[in-house]
Amino acid sequence: MNYEKLPVVESIRQSPPLDFEGTVDDTWVKDKTILITGGASGFGAGFCKRWAARGATIIIGDINVPGGEKLIAETRMETGNANLHFVPCNVTDWMSQVEFFKAAVKLSPHGGIDTVVANAGIAKSDPSFENPQDLDTANPPPPDMSVLNVNLTGVVYTTHLAVFYLKRNPGSSPANPKCKPADIQRDRHLLLISSCAGLMPIPGQAFYGASKHAVVGLYRNLRATSFVHGIRVNMLAPYFIDTPMVPTRLKVMLAGGHIGKAEDVIEAATRFTADPRIAGRAAVVGPKLRVKQDAKGDWDLAKTPQDGEEKAIWEVYPDDFEDSDLFQR
Ligand SMILES: NC(=O)c1ccc[n+]([C@@H]2O[C@H](COP(=O)([O-])OP(=O)(O)OC[C@H]3O[C@@H](n4cnc5c(N)ncnc54)[C@H](O)[C@@H]3O)[C@@H](O)[C@H]2O)c1
């Protein structure tokens, strides 16, 4: 893509490719109001702790009430930040999400929401789906729709409410990749959490893969149109990352450098959240690999431990689909 010749930034307010080098400057999240679905555990809890430490107002919504309340109590103690709140929320229930967003606006010191992270998700395989034992009976049972309900319907509800509230964020102006962060106080940011399972198949996880592919579709559509509402939309697609979602037997299988760390996902999410110039970009986050770039700009694994650099966060490009299919084979 030639960003010099095509007016991508001006026409759809999409940023040019990102530079993930170095540590992100997260100071801009101070005084932002950030709403996180599924914030009681894993990535959501990590986002909460990182941004709370920088002075953001965080409102997490989750079905895990004891976990959410404990996280907020602990994080208040650790950071001294009183603007941290838990609101019970089941993302599959429209009215539950409406009440969550309404509560967030009430709890927000400036009466608006700057960033919404559509993070809640579950993983579960349904072995009967591709091999339904009961098809020969008169009444075959329906498939288990819970993964699609949480990971797709839930994300669609969150997105719908995010677009409604973000553009009404008092004092915000339309997101603009050419803005100067120091000059603006309020944001309109939606961060979608897909997965590598949204870019490549994970055999045996048809519903999870379908739901995460759907989130990629949502992201690609929204980034082309959400500028109408001045909303910047970004997406993360983590590989297997060490959180409670990954079962122990899989963690054992992936041991030895094949599972990523939540801290890199939090770093990538912070880069998107702490920089209002980033719009319409997506990153894959995986285990740190030692890699080297050739003269053409292509990356390959480094030959020796002294060679190249360590990288866990990568931008997503359409030609990555071929590579990922080959990887699965
Ligand atoms: N860990 C990984 O390897 C990985 C990889 C790629 C993508 N992801 C995605 O990242 C997101 C966060 O996952 P995680 O690894 O932190 O998992 P996690 O299990 O630690 O956290 C998920 C949270 O979502 C909450 N949740 C589940 N159903 C809900 C519902 N109906 N309403 C509200 N909250 C609900 C859970 O209670 C939990 O607190 C998910 O969307 C997941 O699909 C995870």
Residue 222 in contact with ligand 1 by CB distance below 6 A: no
pLDDT one-digit tens code per residue, 39-77: 999 999 999 999 999 999 999 999 999 999 999 999 999
Q: In this prediction, what percent of the chain has a pLDDT beyond 70? A: 92
Q: Is 2 inside a domain boundary?
A: no
Q: Is 19 inside a domain boundary?
A: no
Ranking 114-128, 225-239, 261-275, 299-313 by mean pLDDT, the lowest is: 299-313
Residue nearest to atom 32 of ligand 1 (CA): 90
Predicted confidence (pLDDT) at residue 1 exceeds the cutoff of 60: no
User: SS in 3 state form for 108-164?
Assistant: CCCCCCCEEEECCCCCCCCCCCCCCCCCCCCCCCCCCCHHHHHHHHHHHHHHHHHHH
Contact of 172 with 186, CB cutoff 8 Å: yes
Name the band, by pLDDT with cuts 50, 70 and 90, for residue 316.
confident
Task: Please tell me the predicted confidence (pLDDT) of residue 125.
Answer: 84
Residue of 243, 313, 324 with the most ligand 1 atoms within 8 Å of its CB, for mutation: 243
Of 75, 89, 85, nearest to 119 by C-alpha is 89
Q: Give the domain range for residue 216.
A: 25-124+143-175+182-328
Task: Please tell me the predicted confidence (pLDDT) of residue 14.
Answer: 83
Q: Note if 212 is an active site residue.
A: yes
Q: Is 129 inside a domain boundary?
A: no
Q: Say how far apart CA 37 and CA 288 lie, in whole Å.
A: 27
Ranking 3-7, 41-45, 90-94, 174-178 by mean pLDDT, the lowest is: 3-7
Q: Say how far apart CA 12 and CA 8 lie, in whole Å.
A: 6
Domain containing residue 237: CATH number: 3.40.50.720
Q: Is 138 inside a domain boundary?
A: no
- Ligand 1 centroid to Cα of residue 39, in Å, is 8
First to last CA, the chain: 29
Domains: count for the chain:
1
Name the band, by pLDDT with cuts 50, 70 and 90, for residue 173.
very high
Q: Say how far apart CA 242 and CA 264 lie, in whole Å.
A: 11
Q: Is 13 inside a domain boundary?
A: no
Catalytically annotated residue among 157, 208, 219, 239: 208
Q: Say how far apart CA 111 and CA 312 lie, in whole Å.
A: 36
Predicted confidence (pLDDT) at residue 230 exceeds the cutoff of 60: yes
Q: Note if 208 is an active site residue.
A: yes
Task: Please tell me the predicted confidence (pLDDT) of residue 86.
Answer: 98
Q: Is 1 inside a domain boundary?
A: no
Predicted confidence (pLDDT) at residue 320 exceeds the cutoff of 80: no
Of 109, 119, 92, 93, nearest to 35 by C-alpha is 119
Name the band, by pLDDT with cuts 50, 70 and 90, for residue 2.
low
Residue 101 in contact with ligand 1 by CB distance below 6 A: no
Task: Please tell me the predicted confidence (pLDDT) of residue 170.
Answer: 98
Residue of 147, 205, 211, 245 with the most ligand 1 atoms within 8 Å of its CB, for mutation: 245
Contact of 307 with 292, CB cutoff 8 Å: yes
Q: Is 16 inside a domain boundary?
A: no
Q: Say how far apart CA 18 and CA 286 lie, in whole Å.
A: 17
Q: Is 98 inside a domain boundary?
A: yes
